[in-house]
């Protein structure tokens, strides 16, 4: 009987899923989809491996609109698509693994307790990652579940690079340090880099994971040396709606002078800022490029984003004391030729030079876009976080 692996990536308002078949070499995706608008107006969409649309429907209005109903819906839809196979393992994306989890872990009642203890470190995300684990325990009892952490890849950062300049004992006691996120994406890049660019894989590579959430990481010998995200996923680059790095004094000003409360400040830095807040137009780069010719604020947001990415690239190269390759990945990194061209132009003084024609070409394959005389090779490598989760789950097949 075919062994199937279900990968679940649950957030506060959406659940993404992929169903893989455990093939001889690597898990092969069969179906993927998501439910958006959980708690508001849940909508289910699904595609096959070749991206053919198979479903696009609202969930029944008379049912509760939470994660429970959504997971039921996904399993019901998958029922007649298992081709005689059975779901033998489930992999979950979990945002925070704290200091303890540096590898994927088989979920047990004790592990769930440990994950619950991490909720204060990621209150906006961790509860939504834990809920589906418990629900799947009830829906598919006995099927092993594996948690894969966004923080895990960054546990190799030298201690110095994990620190904030806070009182030492306070930071230690409260677990306030740079954890870093998007680790599954970086782990995927690290898994394919040795074949694509062996010299960079052995050396110093700056990876730019630029999507709705954006971060960058310095990979030395394919291990994380430093990363732009810190204690939370609001640090570092400006994002779709998040500020990125912000003078901590601004928060105090909002609290003490503007009398904003914690929820208002949370909304300000997580939901109203970044590309959306600067432009007043959209959190989506495509909209900003379309608006830029006539809207100076849309252009300002794009310019600010590119400036911060190029600046962080230089900073991360310094953290490694080397720069052997630059890799773009995720929604903007993989698709936005305009942002890539601008970022690389700004890094020209370091010897980055791209072939603009290669940069403009669209392809879902990994490819080099630098010119032969560029001092630093520049790559576009489509990321695949779900595959990393599926691979981890395969190790724990029932």
Kindly tell me which of 197 and 385 has the beta carbon lying closer to ligand ADP. Answer: 385
Bridge partners of residue 8, in order along the sequence? 17, 92
- Member of 336, 374, 378, 393 binding ligand ADP (CB under 6 A): 336
Laid out side by side, the sheet with 325-329 consists of: 223-227, 214-220, 204-210, 325-329, 378-380, 367-368
Helix (H, G, I), strand (E, B) or coil at 168: helix
Kindly tell me which of 137 and 282 has the beta carbon lying closer to ligand ADP. Answer: 282
Q: H helices within 161-246, ranges in order?
A: 168-174, 183-196, 198-202
Active-site entry in 41, 62, 80, 150: 150
Q: Containing H/E element for 341? A: helix 337-346
Q: Work out how close the CB of 253 gets to ligand ADP at its nearest, in angstroms, rounded to a whole number.
A: 29
385 annotated as belonging to a binding site for a ligand: yes
230 annotated as belonging to a binding site for a ligand: no
Q: H helices within 271-325, ranges in order?
A: 274-279, 285-291, 296-320
What Rg value do the Cα atoms of the chain yield, rounded? Answer: 21
Q: Does 88 bind ligand ADP (CB under 6 A)?
A: no
Bridge partners of residue 86, in order along the sequence? 3
Among 105-113, 207-215, 220-228, 346-354, which window interacts with ligand ADP (CB under 6 A)? 207-215
Among 95-103, 198-206, 325-333, 340-348, which window interacts with ligand ADP (CB under 6 A)? 325-333
285 annotated as belonging to a binding site for a ligand: yes
183 Cβ contact list (under 8 Å, min separation 6) = 149, 150, 151, 152, 153, 154, 224
DSSP3 helix / strand / coil % (the chain, rounded to 5): 40, 20, 40
Q: Work out how close the CB of 159 gets to ligand ADP at its nearest, in angstroms, rounded to a whole number.
A: 29
Q: Does 330 bind ligand ADP (CB under 6 A)?
A: yes
Q: Does 332 bind ligand ADP (CB under 6 A)?
A: yes
Q: Which region holds residue 311: left if phi is over 0, alpha if psi is between -120 and 50, else beta? A: alpha
Q: Work out how close the CB of 16 gets to ligand ADP at its nearest, in angstroms, rounded to a whole number.
A: 9
Footprint of ligand ADP on residues 214-243 (CB under 6 A)? 240
332 annotated as belonging to a binding site for a ligand: yes
Instruction: Return the closest-CA partner of residue 2 out of 24, 31, 32.
Output: 24
Q: Work out how close the CB of 171 gets to ligand ADP at its nearest, in angstroms, rounded to a whole number.
A: 28
Q: Work out how close the CB of 208 gets to ligand ADP at its nearest, in angstroms, rounded to a whole number.
A: 12
For the question of residue 150 being annotated catalytic, the response is yes
303 Cβ contact list (under 8 Å, min separation 6) = 342
- Member of 98, 277, 331, 377 binding ligand ADP (CB under 6 A): 331
Q: Does 335 bind ligand ADP (CB under 6 A)?
A: yes
- Member of 42, 98, 104, 213 binding ligand ADP (CB under 6 A): 213
Among 23-31, 105-113, 208-216, 250-258, which window interacts with ligand ADP (CB under 6 A)? 208-216
211 annotated as belonging to a binding site for a ligand: yes
333 annotated as belonging to a binding site for a ligand: yes
Q: Does 183 bind ligand ADP (CB under 6 A)?
A: no
235 Cβ contact list (under 8 Å, min separation 6) = 178, 228, 229, 244, 245
Please, are residues 76 and 59 in contact by the beta-carbon 8 Å criterion? no
Kindly tell me which of 155 and 283 has the beta carbon lying closer to ligand ADP. Answer: 283
177 annotated as belonging to a binding site for a ligand: no
Residue 191: phi and psi, rounded to 5, are -75, -25
Footprint of ligand ADP on residues 262-291 (CB under 6 A)? 283-286
> Hunting for tokens 């780069």 — which residue is that?
285
Kindly tell me which of 63 and 361 has the beta carbon lying closer to ligand ADP. Answer: 361
Q: Work out how close the CB of 282 gets to ligand ADP at its nearest, in angstroms, rounded to a whole number.
A: 8
> Hunting for tokens 């179906």 — which residue is that?
31
Kindly tell me which of 320 and 387 has the beta carbon lying closer to ligand ADP. Answer: 387
Q: Which region holds residue 75: left if phi is over 0, alpha if psi is between -120 and 50, else beta? A: alpha
335 annotated as belonging to a binding site for a ligand: yes
Q: Which residues are annotated as a binding site for Mg(2+)?
A: 9, 385
Q: Catalytic residues, which ones?
A: 150
Residues at the interface with ligand ADP (CB under 6 A): 211-213, 240, 283-286, 330-332, 335-336
Binding-site members are: 9, 16, 93, 209-213, 284-286, 331-335, 385
């Amino acid at each position: 009987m075919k062994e199937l692996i279900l990968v679940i990536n649950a957030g506060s308002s959406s659940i993404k899923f992929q169903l893989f078949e455990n093939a001889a070499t690597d898990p092969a995706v069969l179906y993927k989809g998501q439910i958006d608008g959980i708690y508001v107006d849940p909508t289910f969409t699904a595609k096959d491996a070749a991206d053919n649309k198979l479903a696009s429907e609202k969930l029944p209005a008379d049912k509760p609109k939470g994660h429970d109903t959504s997971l039921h819906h996904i399993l019901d839809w998958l029922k007649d698509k298992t081709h005689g196979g059975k779901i033998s393992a489930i992999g979950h994306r979990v945002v925070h693994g704290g200091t303890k989890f540096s590898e994927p872990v088989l979920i047990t009642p004790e592990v769930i307790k440990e994950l619950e203890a991490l909720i204060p470190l990621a209150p906006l995300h961790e509860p939504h990652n834990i809920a589906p684990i418990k629900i799947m325990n009830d829906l598919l009892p006995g099927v092993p579940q594996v948690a894969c952490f966004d923080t895990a890849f960054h546990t190799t950062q030298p201690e110095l690079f994990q620190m904030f300049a806070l009182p030492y004992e306070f930071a230690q006691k409260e677990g306030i340090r740079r954890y870093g996120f998007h680790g599954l994406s970086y782990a995927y890049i690290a898994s394919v880099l040795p074949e694509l660019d062996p010299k960079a894989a052995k050396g110093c590579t700056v990876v730019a994971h630029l999507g709705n959430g954006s971060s960058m990481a310095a990979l030395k010998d394919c291990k994380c040396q430093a990363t732009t995200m810190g204690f939370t996923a609001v640090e570092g680059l400006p994002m779709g709606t998040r500020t990125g790095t912000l003078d901590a004094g601004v928060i105090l000003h909002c609290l003490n002078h503007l009398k904003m409360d914690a929820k208002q400040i949370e909304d300000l830095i997580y939901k109203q800022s970044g590309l959306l807040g600067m432009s007043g137009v959209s959190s989506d780069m495509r909209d900003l490029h379309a608006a830029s010719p006539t809207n100076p604020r849309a252009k300002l947001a794009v310019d600010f984003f590119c400036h911060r990415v190029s600046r962080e690239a230089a900073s991360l190269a310094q953290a490694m004391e080397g720069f052997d390759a630059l890799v773009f990945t995720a929604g903007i990194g993989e698709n936005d030729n305009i942002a890539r061209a601008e970022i690389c132009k700004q890094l020209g003084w370091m010897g980055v030079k791209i072939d603009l024609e290669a940069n403009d070409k669209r392809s879902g394959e990994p490819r080099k876009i630098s010119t032969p005389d560029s001092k630093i090779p520049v790559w576009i490598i489509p990321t695949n976080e779900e595959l990393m989760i599926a691979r981890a789950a395969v190790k724990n097949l029932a």
